Every structure is written in C-alpha cells, then in structure tokens.
Amino acid sequence: MATDVKVPALGESITEGTLAQWLKKSGDTVAADEPIASLETDKVTVDVPSPIAGVLTETVAKEGDTVEVGAIIARINESGSATPAEQGADSSPTNPSGAGESPQPRGSEEAPDAEPAAPAPATAEPAEAPAPAGASADQDGITTLSPAVRRAVLEHHVDPTKIRGTGKDGRITKDDVLAAAKSKETSREAAPAPSPEPEPAQQPKAQAKAAVAGERREERVKMSRLRQTIAKRLKDAQDTAALLTTFNDVDMSAVIDARERYKDLFAKKHGIKLGFMSFFVKAVALAARDVPSVNASIEGDEIVYHDYLDVSIAVSAPKGLVVPVVRSADAMSFAEIELAIAEYGKRAKEGTLGIEDMQGGTFTISNGGVFGSLMSTPIINPPQSAVLGMHRIEDRPVAVDGQVVIRPMMYLALTYDHRLVDGREAVTFLVRIKEAIEDPTRLLIDL
C-alpha cells in the first residue's frame, strides 16, 4: 500500500515553498521520519520527513517546482519493496519538453553565492561513472547531500565525491565534511608549494592560456525564495516608511576593559565568551524605557507599544541575512543573551533555523562591524520602527578634558520610521545607549 508524502505546514502565513532538492530517489529505502526532500520557503529551508518506513516509489514534483502546503510530492510503498515498473523508473518525473534531458544541477537555485560547477565533458557517461565509496548518487551522477552538509561543502570548498560517508547507508555527514576540510588544510600546509594543474595533453599550452585570457562568461541563477523575500521586504520598507538615519559615536574603552577583566571568569562560569552584543542589547533595553516609540510599531492608524523587548539579531547565513529573535531580552542576563545569540549563529550557518525563530521582534540590531564596516544606514525590518547599526572599532583621536587622546571608537547608526519616531526621540535614544556603553555601571543600577 502506498502512502502519500505531502508538503507539511510551513508556518504562519506561508502557503507554499520551492522543492529545492530530493534527498532520496525512487527505489530508495527510507526510514520513518527520515528526510527525503528539502523545501525552501520565504524564510528558511526545511526537510520533508517520510511518514512511514518503506520504499520511495514515486516522486511527483521535481526540483525547482513551487509546491503548496498539503500538496502530494511523493509516494512511499510501506510493503518494503518497489514494483518492477517503479524499480526501473527514473528518479525524476517525466520532462514534457523532451525525454532524457538531464535535470538542473542541485544547488543552482538555493545557493546563489556558490561557485559555479564546472561542466562535465561532452563525452562523459554519467550512468557508467561509479559513485565514490560511502556516498550515494543520483542517476545523473550528483551526490545527494542534506542542506546542512551542502552548506558545509560550499563553506569549506571540499569535493563531496571524494568524501567517504560515515552516516546511515553511507551518507555524508557534516562531521565528514569538516574532517575532509581539516585534512585538506593539513595537506596544504605540509606541501612545500602548490603544484600547477597539468595542461590537457591534447591542447597546446599557448592555446590553453589564450582561451582563458579571452574568455568572457555570464551565468544566470534564479534568485532563491529567501533572497526574493529579502529584496521585497527591504523595498517595501523604503516605499512605506519615512526612513531617516541619525548617527553618534561611542568610546568603547570601558566595555573593552570590562571584557578583558572578567572574560576568563565569565567563560568559566557560563561556558560562553563575553561579547559586545550583550552590552548593546542591555543598553537598548535601558534606552527603550526612556524612548518607548523606538520599540513600538504602526498597525493601521494605531501605534502599538510593547512593554517587552524582543530583539531581532541580524545574522549572516549562507543564503542571505536572517534575523532570529531573542525574546524578552530586557529580562535576560548577559550570559543568557550571549548563549542565545551563539546558538542562533550556529543554527543559521547550519541552515536549521525554524520559522518560529524569526517571527516577531520589536527592534533589530545589525553588526556590520564584524565585516569591517565603518558606517552604514541600515533599513528597518517591518513592522518595526527602528534598527541599530553597529560598526567596527578603530582607534581615533578624540578630545577628552581638553586633551587629544587616542580611544577605541565605534560609530552607531539608528535608522527609524519618522512617521512614529521624532528626531528628538531618536537622538535621545542614541545618547542613552552611548552613556550606557561608556559607563557600563548604568546597566547594573538602571540609570
């Protein structure tokens, strides 16, 4: 008896997604709750688990298709074996425009920032090329990887076809990728000098160089759903809100001294490093009490004020910027804030953030300083009314008590919706943050 595999609920207000990758092919044996496909939504990538144990007998949708919640994408035979017709069937659905056409390489739509894969030689026969030991391969010769493993492969620039998988059924795990990357780095350090790649035997050296020098290439890659959503939301924010940015700078000496003094004790007690972000989250919570409009939002003709602070922390992920929410941050300790941010950062890199992790949020903090940004004008995350931009710390000459001294300074930028936040309130909010960072004792005694 065959059981239908349907697109699961993807979260509030999300009705469809893109079938990014088949993790299993027709004829594969699957266990109950084992991921068989990867779906990309407007916010996250989620795996579709098998509802039962059995054999995947049919894939109804193909990679790149838009599928609605509740739609059937595959069927699984719980008897444990595929029918003769199904065993000989191709793993991908029939292509109405031409039978035998190879499917598009995996990752071309969901990892736009990845390096383009080199085209296979025209004389290659994918069906005859054996899969490497420990890895499972589709009929088109492309190794099947889970989203987390695929991101690790792209991040560490390793060849998955040369990795021996230690997971179930020989599947490649993330630990396998990390081990291969470490081995590659060790080999690179041990080698006296990199060896040049051999020139093709059938092509003269001069001709090969001329071809590379004169080559002009273009590549068209479809935007991922996440990138499309980011683009739409940012443009909507510009079209809807009256955006204005105000700046200030802050002397980071006191925070740097506090971190240096207590970093070992803090790490020993809480198991996490003391970072700058917890100081700024606490400073924002303190400043929002004096300027509540910065932590408010507009709904229709009403202003919604929040007596809590749910901070959206902008995190760079392989597919783009994501903003997981640290909820009730105003009631959290420094350690709790650091632990929450570290966990979100790890899950963002692995691609395991859930939709619920990014819903809500009353204020956003974006730290462009980790990439070396000196100054920027961030865009708000609707329906929020403000976003704080942090930047890099650099030594600059400043006047203190009539003397020119060198201090570690950081520029702060507050972009806000001028429909709700007045200029006086925005400046006051930034000054409160500046005061708290330059004198962290204020954070402890609530001043």
Give the domain ranges of the chain.
1-94, 111-186, 237-445
pLDDT at 23 (0 to 100) = 86
**The pLDDT of residue 316:** 76
* β-pair type (66-68, 320-322): unpaired
Catalytic residue among 113, 290, 422, 439: 422
Radius of gyration, alpha carbons of the chain: 26
Specify the pLDDT at position 253.
96
Say whether 325 sits in a helix, a strand or coil.
strand
Going edge to edge, which strands form the sheet with 66-68? 45-49, 35-40, 16-22, 66-68
Query: Per residue in 183-222, pLDDT tens?
Result: 877 666 555 555 455 444 455 455 555 556 678 888 888 7
For residue 69, the model assigns a pLDDT of: 84
Q: Between β-strands 363-367 and 386-400, what pairing exists: parallel, antiparallel or unpaired?
A: parallel
Q: Report whether pLDDT(428) > 50.
A: yes
Point out the catalytic residue in the list 169, 418, 439, 446: 418
Tokens (6 digits) for 418: 């001028």
CA distances from 106 to 26, 142, 245 (A): 17, 8, 41
What are 393's strand-pairing partners? 410
| Mean pLDDT across the chain | 78
Kindly report, residue by residue over 52-69, the tens digit of the pLDDT. 888 888 888 888 788 888
Whether 83 has a pLDDT exceeding 50, the answer reads no
Annotation marks residue 422 as catalytic:
yes
Q: Rounded to an integer, what distance in angstroms lies between the CA atom of residue 286 and that of residue 61?
A: 51
Does residue 144 register a pLDDT over 70? no
Q: Residues of the chain with pLDDT > 70: what percent?
A: 75
Class of domain 237-445: alpha beta
Upper half-sphere CA count for residue 355 (Cβ side, 13 Å): 18
Q: Is the pLDDT of residue 141 over 50?
A: no
Predicted confidence band at 11 (pLDDT cuts at 50, 70, 90)? low
Q: What is the C-alpha to C-alpha distance for residues 96 and 294, in angstroms, rounded to an integer?
A: 54
Q: Which fold has domain 111-186?
A: Dihydrolipoamide Transferase (4.10.320)
Task: Please give the helix or strand (H or E) that residue 68 lies within, else none.
Answer: strand 66-68
Across 138-167, average pLDDT: 67
- Which tops the pLDDT comparison, 314 or 44? 314
Q: What local confidence, expressed as pLDDT, does residue 239 receive? A: 87
Phi then psi for 338, rounded to 5 degrees?
A: -60, -40
Catalytic residue status for 418:
yes
User: What are the structure tokens assigned to 238, written together?
Assistant: 């510009």
Three-state DSSP at 143 gives strand
CATH architecture of 1-94: Beta Barrel (2.40)
What confidence tier does 420 reach under pLDDT thresholds 50, 70, 90? very high
Provide mean pLDDT across the span 14-33. Answer: 83
pLDDT of residue 60: 84
pLDDT tens digits, one per residue of 251-273: 999 999 999 999 999 999 999 99
DSSP state of 151: H
Question: Which pLDDT band, with edges at 50, 70 and 90, does 87 fall under?
Answer: very low
